[in-house]
Amino acid sequence: MQRRIPRLLTGLAAAAGVLALTACGSGFNGSSGSSGAASGGGLTSSKSPLTVLIGSSGDAETNAVKSAVADWSKTSGTPATVQAASNLAQQLSQGFAAHKPADVFYLGSDTFATYAKQGDLLAYGDQLKNKSDFYPSLVTNFTYQGKFYCAPKDFSTLQLEINTDMWKAAGLTSADYPTTWAQLEADAKKLTTGGHAGLVTSPQYERLGALMVQAGGNLTNPAGTKATVDSSANKQALTFVQNALKAGWWKFTGDVGAGWGGEAFGKQKAAMTIEGNWIAGAMTSTYPSVKYAVVPLPAGPAGKGTLQFTNCWGIAAASKNQAAALKLVEQLTTQQDQMAFAKAFGVMPSIQSAAPAWKQEFPQFAAFLDGASYAQGVPKSVGSAAVVSDLDSKLAGLKTLDISTLLATEQKNLAATITG
């Protein structure tokens, strides 16, 4: 599911859904960049019930959202139903194609521009009463052609997870937690044994991109308006990983028979991994005996850096009751509801005012939330999801790749999605 494991687990079946979303047909009204507001610039309003479509990580998330929506519905008097999609990307695209989309829905930052361009979305962001409370970087993720479209519903960042038993067995203490690439390498070499690697990650931009940011790069500039794939910073980051793979202290998940970093870490094939806060649920439910700590990713040549992943609450331009949909979203993004979601299924609130309460509730995961101040988002241009998926497929062979050729190729591909 996209929120939990960004594109999340591109190396798995999730990529197919993203590519399908990017390729799907035109919007209901055929206009590009329309905000979908009713005539006169206001919101549509009617007695029509609201439909809410979510991509759920499981029963805990589904039940939490249903409960929050039911509470709002009871107070507001507007009927509303929640459906957990079996394939969110497919069901969203089918709904828009049939001119019968859900009123409110989950929408990923890496694909929302596709629907914004097609005129499928209501650009309601500036009408939110709590607009100023959202993290600025999250607002940027959901801004298209200068319009803030939809309220970020939660987010995740990448940080470093450490198996504390393996750490102690290697003679390391908390004073040895790595704060630089050189220290990461030194620690990982000490942690590497015949039974596990020092560091194991998924072979994808959605993990390795954190090092690009630490080196001063990323696939685009922070605003997402310019492709910056072919840069010396990105080459430096991938070269560091390539050398680590050759040295053997860094392995990819496929090398240890795992589908993602959390599995490799949980099965103790890795002493460290790089994952987001979604790993907490997997560790609790599947690997409860593994003791671990979450610490900030080490800084690179340019300083601290990580990637962030987020979804928003989209509202359909075709909704007959946009006014009620906006009020529902405002309730779902209050501190009360966001903290309820955090406790139910582990997400981080998208509003800055909830940070103290979240850290008090989850002090062991504070590094994830602290990353919000220096995190960068993934590409968001129309068609960028397919480009990143292509890059991911090639990064699996990074150990022997010509990095310069790779970056030059993907530069052209991504630039075409921004200027095309």
If asked whether residues 298 and 172 sit together in one domain, one would say yes
Task: State the CATH number of the domain containing residue 173.
Answer: 3.40.190.10
Residue 264 in any domain: the answer is yes
Residue 195 in any domain: the answer is yes
Four-point Cα dihedral 148, 311, 383, 379, nearest 10: 80
Exposure on the CB side of residue 61, measured as CA atoms within 13 A: 20
Answer with the one of 342, 361, 376 that is the final residue of a domain.
376
Query: Using CA atoms, how far apart are residues 267 and 10, in angstroms rounded to an integer?
Result: 21
**Environment class of 266 (CB within 10 Å of its CB; exposed 0-12, middle 13-18, buried 19+):** buried
Four-point Cα dihedral 358, 361, 362, 368, nearest 10: 10
Low-confidence ranges of the chain (pLDDT < 70): 1-41, 420
If asked whether residues 301 and 395 sit together in one domain, one would say yes
Q: In which residue are the tokens 């959901």 written? A: 142
Q: Six-digit token pair at 247?
A: 């040295």
Residue 347 in any domain: the answer is yes
Residue 8 in any domain: the answer is no
Beta strand 104-108 pairing with 197-201: unpaired
Residue 7 in any domain: the answer is no
Residue 2 in any domain: the answer is no
Query: Using CA atoms, how far apart are residues 93 and 75, in angstroms rounded to an integer?
Result: 31
Q: Six-digit token pair at 338?
A: 């966001």
Phi-psi region of 15 (alpha: psi -120 to 50; beta: other; left: phi over 0): alpha
If asked whether residues 291 and 175 sit together in one domain, one would say yes
Give the per-residue pLDDT at 357.
Answer: 97
CB of 411 within 8 A of CB of 172? no
Answer with the one of 345, 361, 376 that is the final residue of a domain.
376
- What is the identity of the amino acid at 410? E
CA angle 40, 27, 226 (to 5 degrees): 95
Dump pLDDT digits (tens) for 49-96.
999 999 998 899 999 999 999 999 999 999 999 999 999 999 999 999
Parent domain of 86: 14-156+309-376
If asked whether residues 254 and 394 sit together in one domain, one would say yes
Residue 9 in any domain: the answer is no
Q: Helix, strand or coil for residue 18?
A: helix
If asked whether residues 203 and 253 sit together in one domain, one would say yes
Give the per-residue pLDDT at 29.
Answer: 30
Give the per-residue pLDDT at 57.
Answer: 86
CA angle 350, 355, 356 (to 5 degrees): 160
Residue 3 in any domain: the answer is no
